[in-house]
Amino acid sequence: MRKIAIVLMFVLAPSIVLAQGEWKLSGDLSLNVTQNAYSDSWTGGEAGTVSWVSIANMIAEKQLSPKYHWRNTGKFSFGQIHNQDPETNDWEKPEKSTDKIDIESVLKMTLGAVVDPYVAFRLESQFLDNSVPEVKRLINPILLTESAGASRTLYKEEERGEVITRLGLAIRQRIDRTVVSIEPEETSTETTTDGGLEWVTDVNYVITPEKLRYESKLSVFQAFFNSESDELEGQPNEDYWKSPDLNWENIITASINQYVQVSLYTQLLYDKEIDKRGRFKETLALGVTYKLF
């Protein structure tokens, strides 16, 4: 319940303020569905599948005053894949294919100098933690990041887009409700805190107006301290937390018409504490999109 309250706070706080003035809003909802089926006479062992992904992207920003600019973004996605047993033709239990909650709020001082000071807050999580299928945990784990530093706009054109980079000190809290027992169900909340230097670069660029768009977000975090460093001392992974963490997301969106879009999404992750190798995800989707704003 505590984690749900935190997420609601991040989601609702900007919405409450929206009613107090004119904001620049943008948002869209999309649904991508893929299905294939085979007749009983089909040979080769193929089986039917159905997969779907729902995506919501929201942006609310406002120049609060000549010196302060506030930008809030929310990215949400959830999807499942349903597989058919090739021998019995029975449909198996759906498995999660996509799950993402990413909410960020950045308040920047627009001084017109070489760099602009900023403070930022970010929440990253997922709707359903299915790592232990017997115990369903909603909105778990949660990664909170609070940062402050200097920001610079490298490129900005009203009709094309912008490239903004920022560098600052950051504190992260990773809140994880781990499973202690399955029967009876028992969980324990563990919190790990680390702090260090964060570099974030956001790219939003319109390649072809109303047709082709490119978005990218590169986040690199270098920890200087970790709350569990003493407990890890002497273990093979005692220095893993000192390695930089990387999260690089890219998406190219092509609009076929007002409601149909094709998108290519890629994500490269590196966190040595989770896996010593990099992790890569790619999604190519064709679906229906509805623009809210």
* % of the chain at pLDDT higher than 70: 91
Predicted local distance difference test score (pLDDT) of residue 35: 86
Distance CA 180, CA 187 (A): 5
Distance CA 122, CA 222 (A): 16
Predicted local distance difference test score (pLDDT) of residue 16: 47
Mean of the per-residue pLDDT values for the chain? 90
Distance CA 168, CA 150 (A): 6
Predicted local distance difference test score (pLDDT) of residue 172: 98
Q: Helix or strand or coil: residue 258?
A: coil
Predicted local distance difference test score (pLDDT) of residue 44: 66
Asked if residue 229 has pLDDT above 80, the reply is: yes
Predicted local distance difference test score (pLDDT) of residue 115: 96
Q: What is the mean pLDDT of residues 242-266?
A: 95
Distance CA 59, CA 162 (A): 14
**Per the structure block, which two tokens stand in for 136?**
């369903």
Asked if residue 6 has pLDDT above 90, the reply is: no
Domains of the chain: 2-291 (2.40.230)
Predicted local distance difference test score (pLDDT) of residue 19: 46
Predicted local distance difference test score (pLDDT) of residue 13: 54
pLDDT tens sequence across 259-270: 999 999 999 999
Kindly write down the DSSP assignment for every residue of 174-226, as one continuous string. Answer: EEEEEEEETTTTEEEEEEEEEEEEEEEEEEEEEEETTTEEEEEEEEEEEEEEE
Distance CA 40, CA 193 (A): 55
Asked if residue 221 has pLDDT above 50, the reply is: yes
Residue 98's closest CA among 263, 246, 257, 260? 263
Using a 10 angstrom Cβ sphere, with 0-12 exposed, 13-18 middle and 19 or more buried, the burial of residue 289 is: buried
